[in-house]
Structure 1
Amino acid sequence: MAASKKIVVLVPDGTGVKNYLYSGVFTTGEASLVLLHNFDPDTVATLAQHVPFDVEMQLPSYTEKKREKFLRELIHLSRIRWNATQVKNPTIHVFSRHNARTLKQKAFYALVRTAARFVRSYTRILSLEARYAAMLRKNPFYHTIQDALRKQAPDLVFCTHQRALKAPAVFAAASDLGIPTATVIYSWDNIPKARLALRADRYLVWSPHMGQELQQFYPEIPAERIEVTGTPQFEFYKDASNILPKETFYARYGLDPDKKLICFSGDDVRTSPHDPKYLEDLAEALTVSGMATSTQLIFRRCPVDLSGRYDAVLKKYPNLIVPMPPLWHQRAIGWSAVYPDYEDVKLLVSLAYYADLVINVGSTMAFDFGMFGKPCAYINYDTVEDPNWSVNTIYKYQHFRSMPSPKAVFWLHDREQIASVVGTALEQPETAIREWFNTIVAYPDTASEQIRKALL
């Protein structure tokens, strides 16, 4: 079949690899693909085994000017404040925090906060965004990428991650050349956090719920530019070939087929800084209750968490906790410097299939394990006193308002309840996770096809 369209697929970092390059979105050969990326040659060679792209182009280097950064941060803070007011949810302000360490950084963000006080209307936010867009067009990066796009002359530019730093200038360059643009919204929680860095002709969203959020927080985007396509990440669970044979899976990690498998899935350091203590609480509860003789505790860390913060806990419970690290390639620390191996898709699918329960702090892993009807328990107590972090804030985040019932998951309200709640979840695993999933995700079986139709 001859390719009907030429599409530039902008993959600014590793986060979009799994969902959009390993899924079925671009595997049919119906489009001529140009991979626009930030990867090294070895990564590109790996991706070429899964995606039939005709051309690959390295994204040019981008130096953000101080005035650009100031405007970008001012817009983000102003939107955060506007969003929080719109939905009367003060927890949204958490996402405007910055880990400023040096005096210079602290002064910079103090100046941003001062300037934000004078942004008193949504019209003013849009005016700032127009200034930022004009400023991007003066950056040498814009001209370099525009020349590259002019040479390729694609029919469409598609972005796999809407918050990447380089993406706005790429989309501005495409727009000025008259090239249509489309983007996905990468994660279920991105929109209230003001994580829409670029402007596109079309926005492909997970569900009608996400489409409504996009219109609520970005009212300038016409409804006809928003298309509900679903997200491909849940299709992997429908493909039986992604489930490793039980003998292989159990032997590889030294698992006991006669024991129940409990997975603790960690988050990144900033999102959930006290995960090691929660893992320790869980291991201790299983040990003291005697459940350690009938269970194994699998630990899957966050792919970008390369720290040694769990080492002491793993050393303390070597016969109970089984580390099962993600199979991601890591060039540095941070989401922009890692990408998954396809074998990690199979590892996670197999883990969700064979495990009996997953435990974490408010993670979408609840949906992953729910694909096989496995329950999730959300941790809902503070294990240490921390003035900058609390579960009392976490579960008030805007995206948790989409949960139709608290029965979607089990809840660990304090460490004394761990053993009893885990026991109940293992014996009576039914939850209302499917109702919540149906709110968040449309087309879970055919998202790749829906996205492909939208792009072609």
Structure 2
Amino acid sequence: MKTIILSIPYSMSARNLLRSEAFSRLSKTFKVVILTPLHKDENFLREFSRENVVIKGLPKQHSLFFKVFRRALDIIEGCYFTQKTRLDTLLILEQCLKRSRPLTYWSRKAIGATFRPLLHTMRGLQGRFLCSSYYEDLLNEFAPSLVFLSHPIALEEFSIAFTARKKAVPVIALIHSWDNITAKSGIRTVTSNRPGRMLPMHFDKVIVWNKIVKKEIIDCYDYKSYDVFVTGVPQFDYYYNNDFSDRDTFIKQIGADPSKKLLLYSAGSPFILPKQDEVIEGLVKALQDNRFVVPSQLLIRTLPGADMTAVKEKYSKYKDVYVYQPAIANAAVAYNSGWQSGEESQRSLPESLLASDVTMNVTSTMSLDSVVLDRPTICIGFDGFENSSYYDSVVKHYDYTHYSNVMKTGGVQLAKSPDELISKINDYLKDPKMDSEGRERLRREQCYKVDGKAGVRIASFIVDFTKK
């Protein structure tokens, strides 16, 4: 039996891959070695241990020298990639940094220009710094047919990738999300002022969600079309392949009233929407003032992986307002509080969406989750009671390359003021079929196929690769 190594650095990586049919099929075909920070977590081990599965650690032990080297390389890569690709996202982020932190902006531009001739040399050198005796011993012990990366832009995966390359073990990368090619590699990132980062190497094969991302990686990283495989979105297989509680059952479970319409607000990052509390407050006040065309109630889904206790304490006391905290498996961050396993943590998101009559989110992948289940979806395009200037506003996020593709489909609405949000909610409450053609286009363009078989396609691709 051949062996493959799966690198799982983040919670969402585990949800996307290990909870899909990909892992189920691969663990029946290969001996699978999972590398993860949760190799000692009882819940994680309970959920993913199998007869042919070995779970090992994914250590992130970088020297101070490498951290300094890598930070400099992030800056050089960010400047280079922005100039090379001229992607809307990266150009907007460049202007944001220039306006908010001009000294940081100009220092990064100077570093980028000065060391640009050394870019390719420095990218090659990082492999020498990152090759690890831990991973060399691991590769010698298991002699894998390939190494599979589930979040290849994450620094946690660089060591295993470069060590595998050194030992001539093929490396396949699954691009973690729809925005990773266009939004993670600029002079600063979307959710912080830190510089972005390019993919670390030219992988043997790359797996992507859709044809848009395939074109992006071909254009930005010079891949050949036959080296990039489109599978669809593996975490959406669960939505297609399972039966869920009916609407009334779910609504009763959260203590709400099945006779009223349910509005779902999925909270966004405070970095993106600092005055999010004002947006929520406006929705709560609209409920109290009976501004919706039919009796309604609000479910606030807090940001996965974030401490939003204050939100729950503040709003749970209001009539017709309910708050719940998602499992860490839904967080797009590194593990920080252990693994929450079990069916309940996996079912809560699709059941809350299916029970909702209108969903709202803040420039999030939640638009895809909602539209996959054909829920009317509104994006928050205002900053609270008063809007900020463009480069300080949440509205700029909808001009980012990946999100502008969403807006062009007509599958979601963008509310640019509190009153417009209430108006758009009422439009959907009166006509849930509104924008259904746009939602279908969005599913087709961003999700490739919503047929419950993305995980099967990933597994089949890996199996076929090992036969060649």
TMscore range, shorter length = 0.7 to 0.9
Q: CA deviation at 1:111?
A: 6.3
- Secondary structure of the structure 2 residue equivalent to 1:298: strand
For 1:62-77, list aligned pairs within 5 A: 62-77=60-75
For 1:323-402, list aligned pairs within 5 A: 323-328=323-328, 334-338=333-337, 339-341=339-341, 342-383=343-384, 384=386, 389-402=392-405
Q: Tell whether the 8 Å contact from 2:174 to 2:206 is kept in structure 1 after alignment.
A: yes
1:8 aligns with 2:33: no
TM-score, normalisation: structure 2: 0.84
Q: CA deviation at 1:214?
A: 0.8
Q: Tell whether the 8 Å contact from 1:250 to 1:257 is kept in structure 2 after alignment.
A: yes
Q: Which residue pairs with 2:165 in the alignment?
A: 175
Q: Which residue pairs with 1:305 in the alignment?
A: 306
Q: Which residue pairs with 2:228 in the alignment?
A: 226
1:188 aligns with 2:163: no
Q: 1:402-427: per-residue Cα shift (whole Å, max 9, x none)?
A: 23626221221211223221110112
Q: Tell whether the 8 Å contact from 2:268 to 2:363 is kept in structure 1 after alignment.
A: no
Counterpart residue identity of residue 168, structure 1: F
Q: Which residue pairs with 1:55 in the alignment?
A: 54
Counterpart residue identity of residue 231, structure 1: V
For 1:150-165, list aligned pairs within 5 A: 150-165=140-155
- Secondary structure of the structure 2 residue equivalent to 1:129: helix
- Secondary structure of the structure 1 residue equivalent to 2:22: coil
Q: CA deviation at 1:271?
A: 3.5
The whole-number CA distance in structure 1 between the counterparts of 2:68 and 2:225 is 30
- 1:98–1:43 CA distance, 2 compared to 1 (3 A): farther
Q: Which residue pairs with 1:437 in the alignment?
A: 443
The whole-number CA distance in structure 2 between the counterparts of 1:211 and 1:382 is 33
Q: Tell whether the 8 Å contact from 2:302 to 2:308 is kept in structure 1 after alignment.
A: no
Counterpart residue identity of residue 394, structure 2: V
Provide runs of 4+ in structure 1 moved above 6 Å: 96-99, 106-111
For 1:14-33, list aligned pairs within 5 A: 14-28=11-25, 29-33=28-32
The whole-number CA distance in structure 1 between the counterparts of 2:410 and 2:327 is 32
More helix per residue: 2
- 1:164–1:120 CA distance, 2 compared to 1 (3 A): closer
Counterpart residue identity of residue 166, structure 2: D
- 1:172–1:86 CA distance, 2 compared to 1 (3 A): closer
Counterpart residue identity of residue 455, structure 2: S
Counterpart residue identity of residue 449, structure 2: Y
Q: Tell whether the 8 Å contact from 2:273 to 2:394 is kept in structure 1 after alignment.
A: no
TM-score, normalisation: structure 1: 0.86
Q: Which residue pairs with 1:78 in the alignment?
A: 76
Single out whichever of 78-87 and 437-446 deviates more from structure 2: 78-87
Q: CA deviation at 1:93?
A: 5.3
Identity score, percent? 22
The whole-number CA distance in structure 1 between the counterparts of 2:115 and 2:47 is 44
Q: Tell whether the 8 Å contact from 2:299 to 2:323 is kept in structure 1 after alignment.
A: yes
Determine which of 415, 419, 423 is the counterpart of 2:418.
Answer: 415
The whole-number CA distance in structure 1 between the counterparts of 2:445 and 2:213 is 9
Q: 1:273-301: per-residue Cα shift (whole Å, max 9, x none)?
A: 33222111222223324439711101111
- 1:8–1:168 CA distance, 2 compared to 1 (3 A): same
Single out whichever of 148-157 and 85-94 deviates more from structure 2: 85-94
- Secondary structure of the structure 2 residue equivalent to 1:261: strand
Q: Tell whether the 8 Å contact from 1:286 to 1:419 is kept in structure 2 after alignment.
A: no
Q: Which residue pairs with 1:322 in the alignment?
A: 322
Q: Tell whether the 8 Å contact from 1:77 to 1:96 is kept in structure 2 after alignment.
A: no
Counterpart residue identity of residue 163, structure 1: I
Q: CA deviation at 1:444?
A: 2.7
Q: Tell whether the 8 Å contact from 1:35 to 1:53 is kept in structure 2 after alignment.
A: no
Q: CA deviation at 1:397?
A: 1.2
Root mean square deviation of aligned Cα: 3.0
For 1:236-255, list aligned pairs within 5 A: 236-241=238-243, 243-255=244-256
Q: Tell whether the 8 Å contact from 2:376 to 2:412 is kept in structure 1 after alignment.
A: yes
The whole-number CA distance in structure 1 between the counterparts of 2:165 and 2:240 is 37
- 1:324–1:412 CA distance, 2 compared to 1 (3 A): same
Q: Which residue pairs with 1:126 in the alignment?
A: 120
The whole-number CA distance in structure 1 between the counterparts of 2:459 and 2:54 is 19
Counterpart residue identity of residue 394, structure 1: H
Q: CA deviation at 1:160?
A: 1.5
Q: Which residue pairs with 1:452 in the alignment?
A: 459
Q: Which residue pairs with 2:297 in the alignment?
A: 296
Q: Tell whether the 8 Å contact from 1:81 to 1:93 is kept in structure 2 after alignment.
A: no
Q: Tell whether the 8 Å contact from 1:156 to 1:181 is kept in structure 2 after alignment.
A: yes
